[in-house]
A = this chain, B = another copy of it.
Amino acid sequence: MTGQVRTVDGRVAGRRGQATRQKLLDCLSEMLSSSPYRDVKVIDVARKAGTSPATFYQYFPDVEGAVLEIAEQMAAEGAGLTDVLAERSWVGKAGWQAAQELVDGFLEFWRKNDAILRVVDLGAAEGDKRFYKIRMKILNSVTNSLTDTVKDLQDKGKVDKDVNAAAMAGSLVAMLASVASHQKGFSTWGVKQAELKPNLALLVHLGITGKKPTK
């Protein structure tokens, strides 16, 4: 299904090739964490990986292409977000707990992968299809799960019918993502992480169930 890993000029990559390819990706990842996206140069990545720029171009069309690759890996292995939500009840105290754990898991996931995520976010915001597809892929597990939850509650008559489940879920997820990327901004602003989380959880709970949580 995944197909073989191929070089730009069509050869199939063998063991050694895949290793250098991966090393390049790792180094790129590191670079993205330590310097602004705009200043990440192919030559630096190559140097850091102990190889030459030409090698980089053998495996990736450009920096963007490599970033997409990293994001793809993250989306694949990083089920990360999936299990945060599996089959949870949103009624009563369990609901409050679900909201809290969702927030926790989400922020943690974002913190771990912030460098790539903000590049993906930029690409998506710029309207690049490849980027917003992968962004969706990453957020899908959470968004879909939340959407289903809302629909479910609507069927049971616990949530107003005029709520658009997908829009609500998407908005909440967007909020979490945005807050996660700008945590530093919040703290200079005088809001500590510890204070932030319960408020986010509260908003999530309000959004999903329409009611204040019972704690």
Binding site for B on A (CB under 8 A): 36-38, 63-64, 114, 118, 121-128, 132, 135-136, 160, 162-164, 166-168, 170-172, 174-175, 177-179, 181-182, 184-186, 188-191, 195-196, 198-200, 202-203, 206-207, 210, 212
**Chain B minimum-CB-distance residue to A127:** B184
The 8 Å CB contact of A175, one of B36, B122, B174, B191, is B174
Contact B191 A166 (CB under 8 A): yes
Q: Write 17 A-B pairs (CB below 8 A) sorted by A numbering.
A: A37-B38, A37-B122, A38-B63, A125-B181, A132-B182, A132-B184, A136-B188, A163-B202, A167-B186, A167-B199, A170-B196, A171-B199, A172-B203, A202-B207, A203-B203, A203-B207, A210-B212
Contact between A36 and B191 (Cβ–Cβ < 8 Å)? no
List residues of chain B with CB within 8 A of the CB of A174: 175, 178-179, 182
A125 CB, nearest partner CB in chain B, Å:
4
A170 touches B195 (CB 8 A): no
Shortest distance from the beta carbon of A12 to any chain B beta carbon, whole Å: 30
Give the complex CA separation of A198 and B207 in angstroms: 12
Cα–Cα, bound, A10→B194 (Å): 46
Q: Is the CB of B170 within 8 A of A186?
A: yes
How many angstroms between the C-alpha atoms of A132 and B42 in the bound complex? 27
Decide yes or no: A163 and B132 within 8 Å by CB, A170-B191, A178-B174, A178-B177 being known contacts.
Answer: no
- Do A118 and B125 have beta carbons less than 8 Å apart? yes
A118 contact from B36, B122, B196, B198, Cβ within 8 A: B122
